Chain A
Amino acid sequence: MADVTLRKVVKRYDDVEAVRGIDLDIPDHEFVVLVGPSGCGKSTTLRMIAGLEDISDGDIMIGGDIVNDVPPKDRDIAMVFQNYALYPHMTVAENMSFGLRLKHYPKAEIKQRVTEAARMLDITELIDRKPKQLSGGQRQRVAMGRAIVRNPKVFLFDEPLSNLDAKLRVQMRIEIKKVHQKVRTTTVYVTHDQVEAMTLADRVVVMNNGRIEQVGPPNELYHKPATRFVASFIGSPAMNFVPCRLEDIGGTLHVRVTDTLAFPLPGVRASRYNSVSRDTKLLLGLRPEHVADAKFNSGAGVETFDATPDVIEPMGMETFVYFPLAGGQVCGRVNPAVDARAGAPLRLAVDLNHMHLLNEATGAVI
């Protein structure tokens, strides 16, 4: 087991920069998830750690040693691929033991490690089957087994659950977390699914356009996003952004959303935003759960207003309402007990204690 360090890592393809100088420290035992949209450089970063891609600039260290020019087989890493990449002509046991057999481990030890990993992943009965006789979820378990038996310094996962159906994905997510809790191997996990990132990670690395936008524990990213990109990427449904500006009305700082709608800011928020120029174009960032029904939500910093939802999404334990506001669409989350209907006016409450204020031009959270 080892820590992984990236120092100003750059990847260039001809004149395109896929990864633009990444700095990242991953301590031993940590589960780090790289998340971002397609083409943000997350998979390239993972493949550079694996040694499957050369790095154009910077340093990658595993266990304190620079591995820039070390071939993948000597990096002591194991990788799980999106399409499983099982050897189709080998049985499950042969697939799992392939790496150990190449390194000429004693047969007894190979058998013991394979048996142990198979038991951990609950695939003991499948050990003599070929990959084509397995379901998607079973194949992904075997792929994980192949990584576990090697007992590597670092686990690398490249979107391992993307090929599975939604239900199985949730189940495998829990399996992966369980395995990590048992083996505690340093793990770098790539996904484009923010739910996977939030649920699995000790720390989430949000990437965009070849750069790291923000690194932090899942809850920190959710509640204290640094940029508009992180705020909009993390959380489902996504955070609402409403164009606004600050205004002093009757000695109290307000956030003005439309000509007829302005909310007074709670004291803590007011002092935080007081220095912001009143002319600056801003965005009011509100998570759906902070735009709720007025019936069940009240208190300091909670302001009510009327809206007419045009779409209602009942989810069972909650109902999402979508309504137009200030030229955009806003999603709110109301209690299912509230009689929310499309086209019918609804009294909503916005919790300004949890609001975010962003600079519209720079996208930075103020």
Chain B
Amino acid sequence: MTSVTVIDKAAPTRKIKYGSISRDRAWALKWSYFFLVIFTFMSLVPPIYMLITSLKSSTEISAATNPWWVFHPTLENYSALLGSSQFLTFFRNSALVSIFVVIITMLISVPAAFALARMRFWGSATIATGIFLTYLIPDTLLFLPLFKMFATFSNWTGIELINHWYVLVIVYPTLTVPFCTWIMIGYFASIPKELDEAAIIDGASWFQTLTRIFIPVALPGLIAATIFAFTVSWAQFLYPMVFTTSTDQLVMPAGIITTLIKGDVFNWGQIMTGALLGAAPPLIIYAFLMDYYVAGLTAGATKG
């Protein structure tokens, strides 16, 4: 017997790509790294510049030397700011406002989201959409009517809200409550229906179902919402500029700008130091709760 090899002349001569999946993956990775490096660079340059500038004296900042290098590092900006009672007041006001806003936001958003996600009542879906729509109204549009409302309120009751830090505790939830409620609705909706039915049959009231089942189960979502509320109230700039003017009532973002820019003189060293110190608390919170935050933002997205 002789073996015969049949050569099919019409067979395609296309080169077979072995391991094409890993090759595609490598390409995807290369592009990912390319853009990641660009974006990391873009987002890290400002804080690095802030850090460098904060370590320079005023003379060195205005000198025509390399702006990306510190020749005579100094902590004078830090000692000046941390030693100034004004800056500490801004910090305290910011902290108070943010903490109260987070508490108020959570006290409103969590029960609201629970009711909208779970208690079937007429119009609940419309209300849920309505809540999200309010988030879309920009604060630049809201501050004028809000200012007018507070002025009228003051005329009627004699209680002066404008130019007190606590006015921000009332104003900021207009930004935080809709978004946090929306996050929590998504999160609560992803919890299986049988879980609350089991709790109800076990004898839990709606409130107990919320506090003993939903909040612990939805903790990542709750933390995501908390971080969001804290960041928004800590970083908000427009409202404090509009609603507070006295230096003892200012919060950090408004305070730094108001007190460290005198006319056309910019105290860059202290401005950068203030901004850096101001960015610290959200940074610390993010660092600790990052894993929860990411889980919270994604877990509510899909059912299961």
Please tell me which one of the listed residues A71, A78, A87, A103 contacts residue B195 in the complex, with CB atoms under 8 A apart: A87
Name B's A-contacting residues (CB within 8 A). 192, 194-195, 197-205, 208, 212-213, 216-217, 219
Q: List 30 A-B contacts (CB under 8 A).
A: A50-B201, A52-B200, A71-B200, A72-B197, A72-B200, A72-B201, A73-B203, A77-B201, A78-B201, A81-B194, A82-B194, A83-B192, A83-B194, A85-B195, A85-B197, A85-B198, A86-B198, A87-B199, A87-B213, A87-B217, A88-B217, A89-B217, A89-B219, A98-B199, A98-B202, A102-B202, A102-B204, A146-B198, A146-B202, A150-B202
Q: Do A85 and B194 touch (CB < 8 A)?
A: yes
Report the separation of the CA atoms of residues A86 and B195 in the bound assembly, to the nearest whole angstrom.
7
Cβ of B114 to closest chain A Cβ, rounded Å: 16
Q: How far is the CB of A110 from chain B (nearest CB, A)?
A: 13
The residue on A at minimum CB distance from B194 is A85
Residue of B nearest to A87 (CB): B213
Q: Tell me the dominant secondary structure on chain A's binding face.
A: loop
Q: In the complex, A311 Cα to B195 Cα: how many Å?
A: 46
Residues in B with CB closer than 8 Å to A88 are 217
Cβ–Cβ contact B202 & A81, under 8 A: no
- Nearest B residue to A103 by beta-carbon distance? B203
Query: For the complex, is A99 an interface residue (Cβ under 8 Å from B)?
Result: yes
Other A-B contacts than A52-B200, A78-B201, 6 sampled, CB-CB below 8 A, are A73-B200, A73-B203, A83-B194, A87-B217, A99-B201, A102-B204
What is the CA–CA distance of A150 and B216 in the complex, to the nearest angstrom? 23
Contacting residues, chain B, for A87 (C-beta < 8 A) = 195, 198-199, 213, 217
The reply to whether A79 and B197 contact each other, CB–CB distance below 8 Å, is yes
Query: What sequence of 0s and 1s flags, for each residue 13-28 of chain A, a beta carbon within 8 Å of any chain B beta carbon?
Result: 0000000000000000
Contact A81 B198 (CB under 8 A): yes
A89 touches B200 (CB 8 A): no
A79 / chain B contacts, CB cutoff of 8 Å? 197-198, 201
User: Which chain A residues lie closer than 8 Å to B212 at the CB level?
Assistant: 98
Give the distance in Å from the alpha carbon of A282 to the alpha carbon of B202 in the complex.
Answer: 52
- Please count how many residues in chain A sit with their CB below 8 Å of the partner chain's CB atoms: 23
Across the interface, do B194 and A102 meet the contact criterion of CB distance under 8 Å?
A: no
| In the bound complex, CA of A102 to CA of B213 (Å) | 12
Where the two chains meet, the residues of A that have a C-beta atom closer than 8 Å to any C-beta of B are 50-52, 71-73, 77-79, 81-83, 85-89, 98-99, 102-103, 146, 150
Q: Which of A86, A102, A150 contacts B208 (CB 8 A)?
A: A102
CA distance A198 to B208 in the complex (A): 39
Q: How far is the CA of A86 from the CA of B213 in the complex (A)?
A: 10
A52 pairs with B204, CB closer than 8 A: no
Q: Which residues of B contact A77 (CB under 8 A)?
A: 201
CA of A356 to CA of B43 in the docked complex: distance in angstroms?
81
A residues less than 8 Å from B219 (CB atoms): 89
- The answer on a CB contact under 8 Å between B192 and A85 is yes
Which residues of the other chain, A, contact B213 by a CB distance below 8 angstroms? 87
In the A-B complex, the 3 residue pairs with the closest CB atoms: A85-B194, A99-B202, A73-B203
B195 to A, closest residue via Cβ: A85
Q: How distant is B154 from chain A, measured CB to nearest CB, in Å?
A: 46
A88 and B203 alpha carbons, distance in the complex (Å): 18
Of the candidates A88, A146, A150, the one having the most CB atoms from chain B within 10 angstroms of its own CB is A88
Q: How far is the CA of A99 from the CA of B202 in the complex (A)?
A: 4
* Contact call A73/B194, Cβ cutoff below 8 A: no
Q: Separation in Å of the A172 CB from the closest CB of chain B?
A: 18
User: Which chain A residue lies CB-closest to B208?
Assistant: A102
Kindly state the separation between the CA atoms of A255 and B150 in the bound complex, as whole angstroms: 92
Task: Contact check, B203 vs A102: say whether CB atoms are below 8 A apart.
Answer: yes
A73→B201 contact, CB < 8 A: yes
A52 to B201, CA, bound (A): 8
Docked Cα-Cα span, A78 to B205, in Å, equals 16
Shortest distance in angstroms between A78's beta carbon and chain B's nearest beta carbon?
A: 7
Across-interface contacts of B217 in A (CB, < 8 A)? 87-89
A76→B198 CA distance, assembly (Å): 13
A87→B199 CA distance, assembly (Å) = 9
Q: Which residues of B contact A72 (CB under 8 A)?
A: 197, 200-201
Nearest CB on A from B239, distance (A): 37
Best-surrounded residue of A71, A87, A103, A146 (most CB of chain B within 10 A): A87
Bound: A103/B205 CA distance, A: 11
Q: In the complex the two chains form, what is the Cα distance from A88 to B212 in whole Å?
A: 11
Q: Which of B195, B201, B202 has the most CB of A within 10 A?
A: B201
The interface residues of chain B lying within 8 Å CB-to-CB of A98 are 199, 202, 204, 212
Query: B204 near A81 (CB under 8 angstroms)?
Result: no
Q: A81, B197: Cβ atoms under 8 Å? A: yes
Q: In the complex, what residues of A have CB within 8 A of residue B192's CB?
A: 83, 85
B102 to chain A, nearest CB (A): 22
Do B203 and A99 touch across chains, with their CB atoms under 8 A apart?
yes
Which A residue sits closest to B198, measured CB to CB?
A85
Give the distance in Å from the alpha carbon of A85 to the alpha carbon of B203 in the complex.
15
Contacts of A51 in B (CB 8 A): 201
Complex Cα spacing A89 to B208, Å: 15
Contacts of B200 in A (CB 8 A): 52, 71-73
Give the interface centre of B197, B202, B213 by most chain A CB atoms within 10 Å.
Answer: B202
